[in-house]
Amino acid sequence: MAVPKRKKSKAMRDHRRAQWMRSVPVPNVTPCPKCQEPKLPHRVCEACGFYRDRAVIVKTEDTEA
Ligand SMILES: [Zn+2]
């Protein structure tokens, strides 16, 4: 089994442990073309209920109240 030749310094160890945040993906939020609200790609817009110029969620008076 391959064994490291030298002990990693505390600085290198801490540097490695500080990099895990970079592996967490950031959601690709883009403005909705209809209402400009931030939305995720390939998802129905939460604000206006539209997906690709089509009303998927039709908001009525009963659901908003
Ligand atoms: Zn929208």
pLDDT by 10s per residue, the chain, length 65: 999 999 999 999 999 999 888 888 888 888 988 888 899 988 898 888 888 877 777 766 665 55
| 46 Cα: distance to centroid of ligand 1 (angstroms) | 7
Q: pTM (2 decimals)?
A: 0.48
Rounded Cα–Cα distance for residues 31 and 58 (Å):
20
Residue 16's pLDDT is what? 92
Sole residue written with tokens 């129905």: 44
| 49 Cα: distance to centroid of ligand 1 (angstroms) | 6
| 25 Cα: distance to centroid of ligand 1 (angstroms) | 24
DSSP H or E segment with residue 30: strand 30-31
| 35 Cα: distance to centroid of ligand 1 (angstroms) | 4
Sole residue written with tokens 């997906």: 51
